[in-house]
């Protein structure tokens, strides 16, 4: 028995606003087909693994020293990547990096949210937005999407204008529903926002729409574009998220970030992985084609499938989504119950994994 086991969570002097909350908890189960956390199913190439290993070895020789607190070389590399991906001239001053985009979002709420302030998001969306709001004691204002999960932009702009939140989250493509927004719609939302607006572009590389980065020049005091290397870059285990914004936004985050938050090993590994961007991102087109195949086959089987611009698909309709989720698991296929009535979400995997998922889909209880 571990020392201290007789003390329970309820016995601790926990903040009242955290009592009764549940932590983020996508199950991490060891099953043959894991399609539940929107990772890239393709492992890094041997060349990338070698390069990361060499760079990490070089960084290890300096581990008695703190890392570059401002991660300037990494931010230079991220700026070069994002500038070439979006056509927008960006420099290290426009970029900030952290341990996953979750930490980016937390720093944004530490700086622009907090006690007495509010963040608004359009649900269903990424479940961590309200959890990070709770952790930073930012009030959470959920606003609705349409019944088909698309965003009624005129209505959303009206909600933003009347609720006047300090921070607005717009996820595009939206997790867990998959739809993305055109720049014209984003412009309407940005103009309605009185404070900052975070466009969470974790899945941007899978989308056919242009990035919100293209709107930064027109809205430097409001817009923050959050991105990650966890999805298209196949670097979820490396933990590297970043944002693009005006340099003043980065100045704001410097006030709340912990010194040396990004380890020397993380910075070295991420830079090595970025050098292999062309080969890694080669999987994006394959995954988009597989997504379209999964959508077509599910549709042919009579499922209701939400159109997706990302590397996952939300589908239904199930009498009891939890029971159907279990019935996939019994067939060795782990997908995600995101808590939307009648629906489940599946991540696009390799063709073999998708075949296994589709075979299970023919058999599960609906």
Of 102, 172, 311, 361, the residue at the interface with ligand PMP (CB under 6 A) is: 102
CB of 28 to ligand PMP, least distance (A): 13
CA nearest to 84, candidates 184, 273, 236, 213: 213
Torsion of Cα atoms, 235 then 241 then 244 then 248, to 10°: -150
Taking the least distance from each CB to ligand PMP, the nearer of 74 and 364 is 74
CB 301 within 8 A of CB 361: yes
Which positions from 62 through 101 interact with ligand PMP, judged by CB under 6 A? 100-101
204: buried, middle or exposed (CB in 10 Å: 19+, 13-18, 0-12)?
Answer: buried
Residue 347 near ligand PMP by CB under 6 A: no
Of 36, 40, 107, 175, the residue at the interface with ligand PMP (CB under 6 A) is: 175
Which positions from 220 through 249 interact with ligand PMP, judged by CB under 6 A? 228, 230, 236, 241
- Number of residues in contact with ligand PMP under rule CB under 6 A: 13
Taking the least distance from each CB to ligand PMP, the nearer of 35 and 202 is 202
CB of 230 to ligand PMP, least distance (A): 3
Sign of CA dihedral 347, 349, 353, 355: positive
CB of 183 to ligand PMP, least distance (A): 18
256: buried, middle or exposed (CB in 10 Å: 19+, 13-18, 0-12)?
Answer: middle
CB of 220 to ligand PMP, least distance (A): 22
Cβ neighbors of 140 (< 8 A, separation 6 or more) are 118, 119, 120, 121, 129, 130, 133, 134
Taking the least distance from each CB to ligand PMP, the nearer of 190 and 199 is 199
Taking the least distance from each CB to ligand PMP, the nearer of 206 and 325 is 206
Strand extents, DSSP E, the chain: 33-34, 95-98, 118-123, 139-144, 167-171, 196-200, 223-228, 241-244, 304-305, 312-316, 333-334, 343-347
**Per-residue burial over 66-75, b = 16 or more CB atoms within 10 Å of its CB, e = otherwise:** ebeebbeebb
Binding mask 29-58 for ligand PMP (x = CB under 6 A): ---------x--------------------
d(CA 79, CA 244): 8
Of 200, 290, 309, 337, the residue at the interface with ligand PMP (CB under 6 A) is: 200
Taking the least distance from each CB to ligand PMP, the nearer of 87 and 339 is 339
Of 92, 199, 202, 215, the residue at the interface with ligand PMP (CB under 6 A) is: 202
Which positions from 316 through 335 interact with ligand PMP, judged by CB under 6 A? none
Of 81, 96, 112, 126, the residue at the interface with ligand PMP (CB under 6 A) is: 126
Ramachandran angles phi, psi of 228, nearest 5°: -150, 155
Closest CB to ligand PMP: residue number:
100
Taking the least distance from each CB to ligand PMP, the nearer of 185 and 201 is 201
d(CA 162, CA 181): 22
Cβ neighbors of 65 (< 8 A, separation 6 or more) are 264
Residue 309 near ligand PMP by CB under 6 A: no
Binding site for ligand PMP (CB under 6 A): 38, 100-102, 126, 171, 175, 200, 202, 228, 230, 236, 241
């Amino acid at each position: 028995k571990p020392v201290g086991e007789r003390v329970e969570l309820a016995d601790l002097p926990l903040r009242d606003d955290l009592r009764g909350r549940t932590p983020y908890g996508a199950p991490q189960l060891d099953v043959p087909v894991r399609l539940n956390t929107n990772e890239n199913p393709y492992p890094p190439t041997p060349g990338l693994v070698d390069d990361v290993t060499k760079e990490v070895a070089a960084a290890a020789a300096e581990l008695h020293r703190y890392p570059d607190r401002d991660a300037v070389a990494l931010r230079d590399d991220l700026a070069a990547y994002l500038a070439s991906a979006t056509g927008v001239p960006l420099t290290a001053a426009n970029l900030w990096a952290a341990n996953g985009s979750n930490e980016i979002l937390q720093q944004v709420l530490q700086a622009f949210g907090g006690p007495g302030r509010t963040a608004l998001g359009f649900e269903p969306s990424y479940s961590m937005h309200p959890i990070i709001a709770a952790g930073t004691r930012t009030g959470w204002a959920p606003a609705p999407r349409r019944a088909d999960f698309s965003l009624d932009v005129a209505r959303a702009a009206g909600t933003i204008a009347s609720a006047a939140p300090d921070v607005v989250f717009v996820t595009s493509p939206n997790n867990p529903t998959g739809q993305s927004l055109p720049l014209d719609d984003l412009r309407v939302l940005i103009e309605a926002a009185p404070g900052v607006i975070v466009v969470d572009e974790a899945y941007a590389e899978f989308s056919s729409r242009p990035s919100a980065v293209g709107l930064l020049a027109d809205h430097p005091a409001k817009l923050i574009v959050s991105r990650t290397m966890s999805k298209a870059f196949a670097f979820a285990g490396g933990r590297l998220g970043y944002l693009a914004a005006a340099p003043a936004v980065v100045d704001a985050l410097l006030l709340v970030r912990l010194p040396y938050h990004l380890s020397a090993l993380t910075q070295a590994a991420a830079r090595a992985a970025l050098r292999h961007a062309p080969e890694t991102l080669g999987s994006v087109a394959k995954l988009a084609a597989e997504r379209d195949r999964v959508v077509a086959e599910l549709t042919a089987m009579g499922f209701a499938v939400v159109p997706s611009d990302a590397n996952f698909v939300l589908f239904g309709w199930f009498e009891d989504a939890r029971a159907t989720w279990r019935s996939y698991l019994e067939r060795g296929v782990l997908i995600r119950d995101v808590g939307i009535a009648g629906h489940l979400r599946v991540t696009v995997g390799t063709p073999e994994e998708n075949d296994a998922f589709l075979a299970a889909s023919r058999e599960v209880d609906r």
